Amino acid sequence: MISARFAPTLFGLILSGIMSGIVTFVVAIKNFGFAGQAFDAWVSSWSFSWPVAFAVVLVVAPLVRRLVAKLVRQPVES
């Protein structure tokens, strides 16, 4: 089991992998259709974009959390 202190990094890794995989798959299908070429293009694009997406998630997530905290009304304690 992975230590809880790595939870934000693991979250970023999984989220960036899923999101970059979906986005690059959609673009590959749009550009090539369901031809054999689409899978190769998708894997190539995904392997390039996942590390970029992971780095962006790690940098941007804390900023987005702060922005959301400012935009959302905190519940009133009773």
Q: pLDDT tens-digit profile of 45-54? A: 999 999 999 9
Rounded alpha-carbon distances, angstroms, from residue 65 to 38, 50, 62, 78: 36, 21, 5, 25
The verdict on residue 49 lying in a domain is yes
Question: What are the tens digits of pLDDT across the range 22-75?
Answer: 999 999 999 999 888 999 999 999 999 999 999 999 999 999 999 999 999 888
In a domain, 76, yes or no: no
| CB neighbours of residue 32 within 10 Å | 15
Answer whether residue 14 shows pLDDT above 80: yes
Residue 78 belongs to some domain of the structure? no
Does the residue 17 lie in any domain?
Answer: yes
Domain containing residue 56? 4-71
> Is 80 exceeded by the pLDDT of residue 78?
no
Number of domains in the chain: 1
**What's the confidence (pLDDT) of residue 68?**
95
